Amino acid sequence: PVASVVGGAIVLCAVFAHAGRDWLKAKSAAS
């Protein structure tokens, strides 16, 4: 089903973006 694939991709992108933002924040705080 295409809907579940699209939904999974959106969730994955959201999680990845959130983790990336936290990583950038930690990196800038450490330097």
Cα–Cα distance measured from residue 14 to residue 22, given in angstroms and rounded to the nearest whole number = 12
Give whole-number Cα distances, 2 to 5, 19, 23, 25, in Å.
5, 26, 31, 35
Instruction: At 29, list the tokens.
Output: 């705080």
The conformation of residue 1, written as its DSSP 8-state character, comes to -
> What pLDDT is stored for residue 31 in this prediction?
78
What's the chain's length in residues? 31
Residue by residue, pLDDT tens for the chain (31 residues) are 899 999 999 999 999 999 999 999 999 998 7
| Global pTM value | 0.55
Cα–Cα distance measured from residue 11 to residue 3, given in angstroms and rounded to the nearest whole number = 12
